[in-house]
Amino acid sequence: MKIKNAVAFVSGANRGLGLAFAQALLAAGAKKVYAAARDPATVTLPGVQAIRLDVTNSADIAAAVKACSDVTLLVNNAGIARGSSLLAPGSADAARAELETNFFGPLALSQAFAPVLAANGGGAIVNVLSVLSWISLTGGATYSASKSAAWSLTNGLRQELRAQGTQVLGLHVGFMDTDMTKDITAPKSDPADVVRQTLVALEAGQEEVLADELSRQVRQGLSAPRGVYLGEAAAATA
C-alpha cells in the first residue's frame, strides 16, 4: 500500500505511538489523517481531523465509520495495560478491561471498517501488538493474554480479508518511550522509529514488523528446543 494520498484512521492518536503514527503519515503525504481519541480535545496535532472514539463503545465506532467513509488505512493502536499478574486480587477485572480494549476494540473496528476498505480498493489494517504477544511476564500477565489474543485476531483477519485485497500487518515491539512505560527501567524504542519501520513495511507489502531487537530475539526463540515462552526463559529474555 502507498502512504502518499492514503486516508488514515488512527485510534489512540492523541499521544505516544498513535501520535507518532499521525505525525509520520502526514509527513509521508497522506491525504487525510483521522486522529481518534476518547476526548477529541486532547488531539492537538495540526493537520489532522480529531474524532471521538472509545474503542469499547459501539455507538462511537458506528459514528466514526459513518464520518470516515473514505478511509484506506486503519491503524488499531489504542491499548491499555493494568499491570496485573494472573493470581492477584482483581486480576479478572484487569483482564476483562484489557481484552475489551486490546482485543475486542480492534475486532470491532476491523469489522466496521472492512466494508469501507473494500469499497475504497482494499487498503490496509495495522494492528499494534507487542513482544508480550509471545511471552508472559508476571507483572503484566493479563496484558500479555490480551495481546496474544490480538495476535491471533491479526492472523485471522489477514486470512479473511485477503480476498478483498486488504493488507493486514502486525506490529510487534517491546518497550517504547511512551507514557505507558514511564515507570519501567529498560531500554526503550523511539516511537518515531517504530512507525518509520511500519510504514516502510506497509509500502513493501509485508505482513509483520519486528520493530526492535527484543522482538526479533523472542520471535526467533519461539522455535527453540525450549521455547522462549516457557518459564524462566521469558523473564530472562525481557
CA distances from 69 to 30, 112, 113, 131 (A): 16, 11, 8, 32
Residue 1 lies inside a defined structural domain of this protein: no
Q: Over the chain, what is the mean pLDDT?
A: 93
Q: What are phi and psi of 46, to 5 degrees?
A: -65, 145
CATH number of the domain enclosing 44: 3.40.50.720
- Cβ-proximal residues to 27 (8 Å cutoff; 6+ apart), any chain: none
Q: What's residue 189's pLDDT?
A: 82
SS3 78: coil
Residue 224 lies inside a defined structural domain of this protein: yes
Active-site pick, 34, 113, 134, 143? 143
Number of domains in the chain: 1
Residue 89 lies inside a defined structural domain of this protein: yes
- The span from the CA of 17 to the CA of 188, in Å, is 12
Structural domain including 26 reads: 7-237
Residue 2 lies inside a defined structural domain of this protein: no
Residue 98 has pLDDT above 60, yes or no: yes
Residue 42 lies inside a defined structural domain of this protein: yes
Residue 20 lies inside a defined structural domain of this protein: yes
236 confidence band (pLDDT: 50, 70, 90): very low
Residue 76 lies inside a defined structural domain of this protein: yes
Q: What's residue 235's pLDDT?
A: 43
Residue 143 bears catalytic tag: yes
Residues 167-194: tens digit of each pLDDT: 999 999 997 776 665 666 667 789 999 9
Q: What's residue 231's pLDDT?
A: 66
- The span from the CA of 187 to the CA of 144, in Å, is 19
pTM of the model: 0.93
Q: What's residue 188's pLDDT?
A: 77
Residues 142-174: tens digit of each pLDDT: 999 999 999 999 999 999 999 999 999 999 999
